[in-house]
């Protein structure tokens, strides 16, 4: 068996995290080094290293992450103000944890991407 990533350990409760949502398919917890007032990571329980490894039969996983993030934004009351979701892939994308995850960033105007 391959070593679980940090996120795998959080899913298995081997590492602590500030968990804000969980269901059968995914877990969401606050980022340890937030880049915005709200910074939550949505992680599928199925280990997939990067977006590149996503198989066709797993494509719905990404939709579940996005849906859970939008529901969280609505519950927390910032959906109308807006938010950003990001998935980093590999070195040039800035990925540091190799278990697929979606960042939800909110709480302040974030500025236009890439400027
Ligand atoms: P990536 O750069 O791979 O897209 O994002 C990984 C994110 O995981 C980073 O924003 C980083 O701050 C966060 N992170 C790394 N280790 C931990 C941890 O042990 N706990 C939590 N909650 N977040 C972590």
Q: Does ligand 1 come within 6 angstroms of the Cβ of 22?
A: no
Mean pLDDT of 86-105: 98
Residue in this structure with the two tokens 């915005």, named with its chain if needed: 36
pLDDT digits (tens, 9 = 90+) for 23-75: 999 999 999 999 999 999 999 999 999 999 999 999 999 999 999 999 999 99
Model ipTM value:
0.99
Rama region for 82: left / alpha / beta (φ>0; ψ in -120 to 50; rest): left
Q: Is residue 28 part of a domain?
A: yes
The predicted structure's pLDDT at residue 2 = 58
Q: Is 101 an annotated catalytic residue? A: yes
Q: Which structure tokens are listed for 49? A: 């290293």
Name the active-site residue from 39, 92, 101, 103.
101
**What domain range is 101 assigned to?**
6-106
If you average pLDDT over residues 4-13, what whole number do you get? 95
Is residue 112, in this structure, part of any structural domain at all? Answer: no
Residue 90 counted as domain residue? yes
Q: Measured from the CB, is residue 17 less than 6 Å from ligand 1?
A: yes
Q: Is residue 56 part of a domain?
A: yes
Atom of ligand 1 nearest to the CA of 30: 22
Domain containing residue 13: CATH number:
3.30.428.10
pTM comes to: 0.96
How wide is the angle at C-alpha 20 spanned by C-alphas 32 and 29, nearest 5°?
30
- What is the rounded CA–CA span in Å between residue 7 and residue 109? 28
Q: Does 1 fall in a domain?
A: no
b/e code 66-105 from CB counts within 10 Å (16+ = b)? eebbeebbeeeebeeeebebebbeeeeeebeeebbbbbbb
Rounded to the nearest angstrom, the distance between the alpha carbon of 32 and the centre of ligand 1 is 6
| Tally of domains in the chain | 1
């Amino acid at each position: 068996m391959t070593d679980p990533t940090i996120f795998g350990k959080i899913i298995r409760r081997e590492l602590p995290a500030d968990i804000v949502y969980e269901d059968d398919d995914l877990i969401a917890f606050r980022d340890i080094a937030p880049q915005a007032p709200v910074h939550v990571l949505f992680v599928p329980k199925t280990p997939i290293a990067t977006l590149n490894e996503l198989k066709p039969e797993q494509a719905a996983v990404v939709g579940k992450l996005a849906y859970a993030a939008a529901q969280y934004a609505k519950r927390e009351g910032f959906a109308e103000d807006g938010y950003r979701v990001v998935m980093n892939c590999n070195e040039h994308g800035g990925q540091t944890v190799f278990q697929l995850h979606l960042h939800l960033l909110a709480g302040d105007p974030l500025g236009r991407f890439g400027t």
